[in-house]
């Protein structure tokens, strides 16, 4: 690190501009969508597990899986 600073100061090395847009990594639309989908699926999984655990006590009966699916999970606009 110090070597890079000294070389930049003595002009033997070109100083990088970290704020320059050419030094930024652009994320592709697919990567952004993948990240968002993972977040939403993780949230949906947690909600489904919570609902199933709530209904899996010995005195209760197990309901069909359709009852655990929330319309907000399936819809495009979420909830």
For 43-70, the DSSP string reads HHHHHHHHHHHHH-STTSPPPPGGGT--
Stretch 30-48: mean pLDDT, rounded?
92
Has residue 78 got a pLDDT over 60?
A: no
User: Binning pLDDT at 50, 70 and 90, where does residue 59 land?
Assistant: low
- Confidence (pLDDT) at 35: 92
- Confidence (pLDDT) at 66: 74
- Confidence (pLDDT) at 61: 67
Has residue 52 got a pLDDT over 60?
A: yes
pTM metric for this prediction? 0.43
């Amino acid at each position: 690190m110090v070597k890079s600073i000294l070389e930049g100061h003595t002009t033997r090395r070109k100083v990088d501009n970290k704020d320059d847009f050419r030094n930024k990594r652009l994320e592709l639309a697919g990567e952004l969508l993948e990240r968002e989908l993972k977040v939403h699926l993780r949230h949906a999984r947690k909600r489904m597990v919570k609902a199933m655990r709530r209904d899996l006590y010995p005195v209760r009966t197990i309901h069909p899986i359709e009852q655990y699916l929330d319309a907000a999970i399936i819809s495009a606009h979420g909830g």
